[in-house]
Structure 1
Amino acid sequence: MKRLGKVYSGPYTLRAKAQGNAREPDIFAVMQNNPRQETGKEFIGAADVVVEVISDDSLFRDRVTKFDEYEAAGVREYRLIAPRPERQRADSYVLDADAGRYRPASLEADRIFRSTVLPGFWLDVDWLWQESPNVAEIYETIRRGN
């Protein structure tokens, strides 16, 4: 695997702007060339990719508050996963650098999302809804690139 950057998860916090709110995304990735400041268990600056798994009590915070914060700070990809059985949904947004606004990232016909930030990384959205996904098999599939 290439050494492109670091992946973080809780209890590591993200403060997208120096004086902004401290957030604890489910997962976030920071590329090596990202100008950042790390202090203990906190990352200060815009991460390159943020993934949030939405729960009933975080719906507004993840879809509105954090969306606006991450967009304003320059987080390049923002992914939201809502795993509720009655309404499974995965949304991805990519920052339009010229406009400074998120635009929805479309899935390919085979329900594949390809990252614009992490070279070679893609995700079959259907994997998110599998009862007992085989993580090793998924990893190997992504690693092979097919």
Structure 2
Amino acid sequence: LDGRIIMHSPASKRHEDIFVFLLTLLRAFLDERKGATVLGSRYPMRLDPKWSPEPDIVVIVDARRHLMKSQRLEGPADMVIEIACESDPGLDYREKLPRYREAEIPEIWIVDPFKQELLVETKSGSRYVTRTESSGRVESTVVPGFWIEASWLWQEDLPSTMSCLREILGS
């Protein structure tokens, strides 16, 4: 961040479970429906010369695939998902969210397993519309037809990815 390398503590099992669940759902959904590419947390997104964050999940729509290079995304993703970490749950809200807004990322999700809340920010004109969900259907504006039930994320044992995918694709 701003030319500094920030080392994070290792991810918790809960973080990894949610990460794999969401990445698998998005990847399988997009394999079926097309329209975008989803990548995991080791692919940097260059937002300025001094900041290339590695969000937990990024979605790049097909019309902007030309920004995907072998080592990084040259510009903002169309959708970013961050999962709050146990060692510093406020980091995503405090450090990343303002910068993601500044980069005008169209859709930002922050999954907070500690508060059992999903913060969703979507760009509407020159401002962001923010909502926080603990339950109910949360639909993506960037990936048409993709949605999750927020309460899926708070279950101690996450639901079957395939069962959830069938439900999403069937709707």
TM-score (norm 2): 0.73
Higher strand share: 1
Letter in 1 for 2:122: V
Q: Which gives a bigger RCO, structure 1 or 2 (Cα 8 Å, sep 6+)?
A: 2
Find the counterpart in structure 1 of residue 167 from structure 2: 141
Size of the alignment, in residue pairs?
Answer: 138
Find the counterpart in structure 2 of residue 78 from structure 1: 108
**Contact 2:84/2:90 (<8 A) preserved:** no
Letter in 2 for 1:9: G
Q: Distance in 2 between matches of 1:71 and 1:36?
A: 22
Q: 1:36 to 1:72 in 2, by over 3 A?
A: farther
One of 137, 147, 150 as aligned partner of 1:122: 147
Please report how far the alpha carbon of residue 106 of structure 1 lies from its aligned counterpart in structure 2 after TM superposition.
Answer: 6.3
Find the counterpart in structure 2 of residue 52 from structure 1: 82
TM-score (norm 1): 0.84
Find the counterpart in structure 1 of residue 34 from structure 2: 3
Q: 1:36-73: CA deviations, max 9, x gaps?
A: 42332311111111000001434343102211111111
Q: 3-state DSSP class of the match of 2:164?
A: helix
**Contact 2:118/2:132 (<8 A) preserved:** no
Q: 3-state DSSP class of the match of 1:23?
A: coil
Higher helix share: 2
Q: 3-state DSSP class of the match of 1:50?
A: strand
Q: Distance in 2 between matches of 1:35 and 1:46?
A: 11
Please report how far the alpha carbon of residue 83 of structure 1 lies from its aligned counterpart in structure 2 after TM superposition.
Answer: 1.1
Q: Distance in 2 between matches of 1:141 and 1:2?
A: 14
Please report how far the alpha carbon of residue 136 of structure 1 lies from its aligned counterpart in structure 2 after TM superposition.
Answer: 0.8
Find the counterpart in structure 1 of residue 117 from structure 2: 89
Q: Distance in 1 between matches of 2:42 and 2:65?
A: 21
Q: 1:123 to 1:59 in 2, by over 3 A?
A: same
Which structure 1 residue ranges, 5 or more long, are not aligned? none
Find the counterpart in structure 1 of residue 137 from structure 2: 112
Which structure 2 residue ranges, 5 or more long, are not aligned? 1-31
Find the counterpart in structure 1 of residue 93 from structure 2: 63
**Contact 2:44/2:72 (<8 A) preserved:** yes
Q: Distance in 2 between matches of 1:70 and 1:89?
A: 19
1:27 aligns with 2:36: no
Is the deviation greater in 45-54 or in 128-137? 128-137
Q: 3-state DSSP class of the match of 2:162?
A: helix
